[in-house]
Chain A
Amino acid sequence: MPSKIPIGPYHPLQEEPEHFILTIEGEQVVDVDVSIGYNHRGIEKLAESKTYDQVPFLVERICGICSMSHPLAFSLAVENCAGIEVPPRANYIRTILDEIRRLHSHLLWAGLAGHFLGYNTVWMWAWKYREPLLELSELLTGNRNHYGMIKVGGVRRDIPPEHYPLIRKALDELKPKLEMLYGAVLDDPVLRARLEGVGHLSREDAIRYGVLGPTARASGVDIDIRRDYPYGASDKVEWRVITSERGDLLARVEVRLLECFESIKLIEGCLEQMEPGPISADVPRKIPPGEGIGQVEAPRGECFHYVVANGTDKPERLKIRAPTYMNLPSFRATCLGETLSDVAIILAGIDPCYCCTERLVRIKDGRGERRLSFEDLLKLSWEKTARLRKEAKDGCVE
């Protein structure tokens, strides 16, 4: 006899509110459902009332963990729409900050994963090593978490050459710690037992669900926007995409930790190649009518922005798709059949970010412009029942 376990919306598991309904039979999970909406802030609509200069600040606040990816994707979309050429130095600065953000995000996740597994030491370690990165960000941008660095056509602040050695030093200090963390996580027999073979997502399922980012790469799907559709300076520097064939949680941990080293490589390469120059292009206040897309590899996967411009200084429409939107449904492939005690870490395994995901859709009547309210939907449903009933009755008569 299956029973339902509600988790959330306020629960100690994750810092964001979301509601899971697990159906279990004995110890085994047979169904999982998730209800979100506790974080919906109406950002797409708000963006329509802000100018192109203001929107990056707004979309930065979609998510605090990948706060570099959203403004970058938006700027790329507007630049794509208006055909703006970004100066090379701005591109390098964008990549440097993007990679610092990725390092911070992966370390944050590693720590939280340790916490979910009951290894609070891993949590404390990972977050301790993350702290110098936040200090570095504060030095480069003026804030620990929300930077306000990206603007359409370039970046707002330059990185002065006297800061290069400081960045290099911070990265050099981080490397041995990352190696230690990597070794400690992979060599620990208990952690291995908790992660190996758990939450398996096969390559076929990964493609079927369309998962993105490290979740896809851990299942052997070789995708990375930084290589496939380069932005910033990611095509100028030598680095490689990390993949793993195994598809379990251990693979996801491995991919994320190894990606940290690639991020360090990218930053160091950028610092080497960067040449003095302008950091921002001239951008007209009013963007000519048209549409554009921007894709960025956020720490969790591809972050996609679509902008429609109408010739004014405000976007007509902004559509955002964050990576978690694609990764969430894969819970159905990874959770089912696992035991209840493994669910916490499987749910955390895709590095979910509900703040990014929560977009609202209003259903429009396909026949006209009328918007459907709940009453309308109810009426439609009743009509269908009445129709079916009539059909059934007619069928009986015949």
Chain B
Amino acid sequence: MASAGSKTRTSPWQAWGISRSPWVYHLATGTCNNCDIELLDCLTPRYDLERFGIKLVGSPRHADVLMVTGMMNRKCLPRFIAVCRQVPKPYIIVALGACGANKGIFHDSYNTVGPVERVVREIMKEDTIVVNVPGCPPKPEAIILGVVKGLKLLQERRR
């Protein structure tokens, strides 16, 4: 489900800091909307992520977790990279849905530059933790599990 590069280390303080109440910034890069509304659904009374301190924020500069949905449209790619540069490090990326994980049903589309993980590794050349949450759309439970797993991986990278 998750894959971690190995190099960049986080300091214990940083890892502790973001493991408590991760703030999430949501970024859609060519979606069908469904992963996005399932993510919003996580915040509403049935699942209520805010009781764990997980919060959707309006600016990437406040975020610890980047939730990326969609199959990475060509027009979105430069914007995605620009957003990633603004997120305070360390951070984790959660690629939601079949689209985010492996382009899903849009695999053969002419307008995609590949799943999120490929973009991060090959185009941005970063070893940020990328968690792929499969499902079309993933259930809110799976989304929550994805975030938790990503944060655990970050803990393991501690110096």
Contact = CB atoms under 8 A, between A and B. Distances in A.
Contacts of B106: 41-43, 46, 61
A355 B33 contact: yes
Contacts of B26: 15
Interface residues of A, number: 37
A57 B105 CA distance: 9
**B26, B44, B108: which has the most chain A beta carbons within 10 Å?**
B44
Interface residues of B, number: 41
A64 interface: yes
Contacts, number: 118
A175 interface: no
A37 interface: yes
B149 interface: no
Contacts of A145: 34, 37-38, 137
Interface in B78-129: 79, 83, 104-106, 108-112
Given A42-B110, A46-B106, 18 more contacts: A15-B40, A16-B28, A16-B36, A38-B28, A38-B79, A41-B30, A43-B109, A45-B110, A64-B33, A64-B36, A65-B34, A65-B37, A108-B37, A127-B40, A128-B45, A144-B139, A146-B34, A355-B32
B45 A127 contact: yes
A355 B40 CA distance: 17
B6 to A, nearest CB: 30
A42 to B, nearest CB: 4
A115 B93 CA distance: 26
A64 B30 CA distance: 12
Interface of A: 9-12, 15-17, 37-43, 45-46, 49, 57-58, 61-65, 67, 108, 111, 123-124, 127-128, 131, 144-146, 353, 355
Contact of B33 (A38, A46, A65, A131): A65
A131 B76 CA distance: 31
Nearest to B26: A15
Nearest to B139: A144
A128 B37 contact: no
A14 B147 CA distance: 22
B144 interface: no
Interface centre among B39, B79, B105, B110 (most CB of A within 10 A): B105
Contacts of B111: 40-42
Given A15-B40, A17-B29, A9 B79 contact: yes
A114 B40 CA distance: 14
A39 B28 contact: yes
B27 interface: yes
B73 interface: yes
A62 B109 contact: no
A124 B44 contact: yes
Nearest to B140: A144
A144 B108 contact: no
Given A10-B79, A46-B109, A64-B35, A41 B29 contact: no
B58 interface: yes
Given A64-B137, A146-B136, A46 B44 contact: no
A54 to B, nearest CB: 9
Contacts of A38: 28-30, 73, 75-76, 79
10 contacts: A15-B26, A38-B30, A40-B73, A61-B106, A64-B36, A124-B45, A128-B44, A128-B46, A144-B38, A146-B136
